[in-house]
Amino acid sequence: MKLLKYPEDRIILNNISKIDYSNALITNCPKEILKKTCDEVLKYGFAVVAAFPTYIEYVIKRLRDSQAHSQIAVGFPCGNHFMEVKLKEAEIALNLGVKEVDMVMNIYRFINKDYNYAKQHFMILIF
């Protein structure tokens, strides 16, 4: 990598390899940005391409045979989906080959202090 010329640059590379790259995590993401995001992940060594369900099959195929992997965004942006919908979406993605699921809790319920609702959903995910 041209930008990294010095021994200290290994620290940068080590940190980059732990970053989830979410450049394509936009609702109107054109295929060009999705492709560019995957290319940048492969070029610079990011850990993950985060993408919405619609794009995830492309990401899985594009990252096949690389160190990077796919991450699906479930329930974005506010987590207001029914838990059953979130779980089904995660299940489908995992069956497609997604390596990581990033699921948003129901922010509305949490902000309004419905902590039991949040706790129940966390328990469903854990067990």
Average pLDDT over residues 95-99: 95
pLDDT mean over 110-121: 93
Compute the half-sphere exposure of residue 41: CA atoms within 13 Å on the CB side of its CA.
30
C-alpha neighbours within 13 Å on the C-beta side of residue 119: 4
- Percentage of the residues of the chain whose pLDDT score is greater than 90: 72
What CATH number does residue 38 fall under? 3.20.20.70
Q: 52: Cβ–Cβ under 8 A, 6 or more apart, which residues?
A: 25, 27, 29, 72, 73, 76
| 4 domain-assigned | no
Q: How many domains does the chain have?
A: 1
Residue 84 lies in a domain: yes
Cα gap 76→78, rounded to integer Å: 5
Range of the domain at 94: 9-126
Residue 12, pLDDT score: 73
In a domain, 98, yes or no: yes
